[in-house]
Amino acid sequence: MTIHFENESKTELSLPLEEIAEAVINAALDYIGCPYEAEVNLLITDNEQICQMNREFRRIDRPTDVLSFPMIEYETAGSFDFLEEDAQAGDCFHPETGELLLGDIVISAEKVLEQAQEYGHSAKREYAFLIAHSMLHLMGYDHMEAGEAADMEQKQREILEGLGITR
């Protein structure tokens, strides 16, 4: 697995950010049963930049906690079977490493601290939660409908519990 990690935030999280990210990303891939080695880009930024990105890509003019940019369009969330059958699936793999290109995650460090305080848990738990949440998006899951939201919430909780990261 390859994680391209960048921290452009001026906000100090005082956490082993790369180590936590690697653990959560691996746990999410294992939980869903991804049969491939994967590549993920993770950017830690501040409210100003994530607001700009949110405005540009989602037409929402406010900071958000996390943005997910999947590289793959799934027929069924969490199912990678179509990659074996689809002739264009080769575009989903890095030409040199052969890793599955899942996509990009952008997290606001300021929101990590704000929401950790708001929800009464640690910054580590909030950071890990946002990564787990985004990884599910990168593997085709969404939460636009109540059933989808409940499914994602359960998966996020179980991924984090498997790592011993709880509220």
3-state secondary structure of 70: strand
Per-residue pLDDT, averaged over 15-27, amounts to 98
Q: How many CB atoms lie within 10 A of CB 23?
A: 17
| Partners of 104 in beta bridges | 41, 69
pTM here? 0.96
Mean pLDDT of the chain: 95
Higher pLDDT, 127 or 88: 127
Tracing tokens 């037409």 back to the chain, one arrives at 59
Give the whole-angstrom CA distance, residue 160 versus residue 108.
20
- pLDDT tier for residue 83 given thresholds of 50, 70 and 90: confident
Residue 9 has pLDDT above 80, yes or no: yes
Supply the DSSP symbol for 12: -
% the chain with pLDDT above 70? 97
> Residue 135: which pLDDT band, with cuts at 50, 70 and 90?
very high
Tell me: pLDDT of 87 over 60: no
The answer to whether residues 140 and 44 touch, using CB atoms and an 8 Å cutoff, is no
Residues 57-68 have a mean pLDDT of 97
